[in-house]
Amino acid sequence: MHATTWAPRPSAPAPSTVPSTVPSTVPSAVPSAADRTQSRGSRLERGFLHALEDRRLAFAAIGPNWYASVMGTGIVANAAATLPVRVPGQGVFAEVVWCLATALLLLVSAATVVHWVRHPDTARGWLAHPIMSHFYGAPAMALMTVGAGALLVATPLLGTTAAVWTSAALWTAGTALGLWTAVAVPYQAFTRHRVEPASAFGGWLMPVVPPMVSAATGALLVAHLPVGQWRSSMLVACYAMFGLTLLASLVVITQIWNRLLHHKVGAAAAVPTLWIVLGPLGQSITAANNLGTQAANDLPAPYGPALQALGVVFGVPVWGFALMWAALAVAITMRTVRAGMPFSLTWWSFTFPVGTVVTGTSGLAAHTGSDLLVVAAVVFYVGLLLAWAVVAVRTARGVWSGQLLATAAAARPTTLR
């Protein structure tokens, strides 16, 4: 978010002649009625949505990327629930944040409906937009993040039955939408989008990552299904979605690396999307460990025990690559911040991907008993909290002032490619 420019209050006009009857203890530059009216007007101008020239455009650019705020908030709650350590108030904090994520999901969904009603041409144009279309993966992941939190965090609030049904409903909706984005968005990119050699960016991962989130969160529902074919079928489906995202992500990450190597970092506003690469890495570790735990209980030997071991055998090497990429992302981000990195919704890329590394590291710690991984999970979670706090506050300020809405509205697509 660009800093808001605050207009200084006009100086009081110099008095022309002070009547002799005015006591010397009264200041001669008493604000006039006109000054007081102008001051009140300035305060009003700095109020709600003051940065929007036309408040009717407040919903003009509510694209799918706004769901990133739900993802980033929900993962703070879910990661807190999976940490291998416990501190006083941790559970209550997670419940509060989950409630906030749920409220954000409802709010962003309502704003999206208003956007489609008031600006249907723009809304229909998002899928054809070569950048925004990739963020259609965000609504799917937002649904499943809140749904997973219903089981991990909100069971004391909702009760077991309500928590399971809420999680199942959101998982089903998110999975259906995520499988659609994994096919529809690449199809658009292959057939319609104008893609340049330097176009690859972290956002390309967004439409193909939701099936991995389905795999990681679907594992939480397996234990609530009837024993037998229901559970084995769910595990097979989740492992298939695990493979879908894993292989697609390898292709996209290679393209991102190639773009960085040959075309360098690029626009400052897009730098935060480099953190999205951590998403499929951390989520795949989480999924491998969550599914492995369930497979050991529900699949016969040698498959069940082998898949449980896969969580660690696969997870630790991928965790190593995630650490390397995190170091690169930190270095590039710090370099860009020093040069000037404008605030935008892409800053939410600092949250959810890091949260998946927390849940993945926590899963590895639980299966290995490694103190190193316990400490790493806590360190990553502290970083997640700091990033979330900064981005959430700046987003709230940007929405209140209208600056974030105005910036998004100015960038909305006017023509379809």
Residues whose CB is less than 8 angstroms from the CB of residue 370 and which lie 6 or more positions away in sequence, other chains included: 364
- Cα-Cα-Cα-Cα torsion 19, 25, 26, 27, nearest 10 degrees, comes to 100
* C-alpha span between 238 and 213 (Å, rounded): 9
Neighbour-count burial of 362, counting CB atoms closer than 10 A to its CB (0-12 exposed, 13-18 middle, 19+ buried): buried
* C-alpha span between 271 and 274 (Å, rounded): 6
* C-alpha span between 280 and 245 (Å, rounded): 7
* C-alpha span between 110 and 104 (Å, rounded): 10
The total of other beta-carbon atoms located within 10 Å of residue 6's CB is 8
Angle at which helices 229-263 and 210-222 cross, to 10°: 150
* C-alpha span between 220 and 143 (Å, rounded): 15
Cβ-contact 213, 145 below 8 angstroms: yes
Would you state the structure tokens that stand for residue 211, as one six-digit string? 């099936």
The total of other beta-carbon atoms located within 10 Å of residue 81's CB is 20
* C-alpha span between 98 and 104 (Å, rounded): 10
The domain over range 57-409 is classified in CATH as 3.40.980.10: no
- Tell the residue number behind the tokens 């009216």, with chain if given: 37
What is the full per-residue pLDDT of the chain (417 aa) written as tens digits? 433 333 333 434 444 333 333 333 334 444 555 554 454 444 445 688 888 888 888 999 899 999 999 999 999 999 999 999 999 999 999 999 999 999 999 999 999 999 999 999 999 999 999 999 999 999 999 999 999 999 999 999 999 999 999 999 999 999 999 999 999 999 999 999 999 989 999 999 999 999 999 999 999 999 999 999 999 999 999 999 999 999 999 999 999 999 999 999 999 999 999 999 999 999 999 999 999 999 999 999 999 999 999 999 999 999 999 999 999 999 999 999 999 999 999 999 999 999 999 999 999 999 999 999 999 999 999 999 999 999 999 999 999 999 998 876 666 654 433
Cβ-contact 251, 182 below 8 angstroms: no
- Ordered by start, the domain boundaries in the chain are 57-409
Read off the pTM.
0.87
Eight-state DSSP code of residue 129: S
